[in-house]
Amino acid sequence: MSDTPAATFLNFLSGLGAQALMQFGELPNPINGERSLNLAYARYTVELLTVLEAKTAGNRTTEEDEYLRRLLADLRARMTKAEAAIAD
């Protein structure tokens, strides 16, 4: 039995979400164990998820739709907070 997760759209979104959290400094980098903010990459990941939202509209399950909606809302709020902190 493999430890590899199933290749599903939800797992794909979850991976991008985890990547964004790492870019926001919320999760440690698995390579060096450090947390650091990389706002440019965090912004790119949020934009990428926004493109996926538009391109997959009408083709997502209810569960996928709700997950993506909540994920984007959370990441956009984090983006706003991070940008405000930098502007201060």
Say how far apart CA 31 and CA 68 lie, in whole Å. Answer: 27
Domain containing residue 27: 9-87
In the prediction, which pLDDT does 1 show? 58
Give a yes or no: residue 2 inside a domain.
no
DSSP 4: S
DSSP 60: S
Per the structure, the count of domains in the chain is 1
Give a yes or no: residue 80 inside a domain.
yes
pLDDT digits (tens, 9 = 90+) for 15-66: 999 999 999 999 999 899 999 999 999 999 999 999 999 999 999 999 999 9
Give a yes or no: residue 66 inside a domain.
yes
Give a yes or no: residue 45 inside a domain.
yes
Give a yes or no: residue 22 inside a domain.
yes
Q: State if pTM tops 0.85.
A: yes
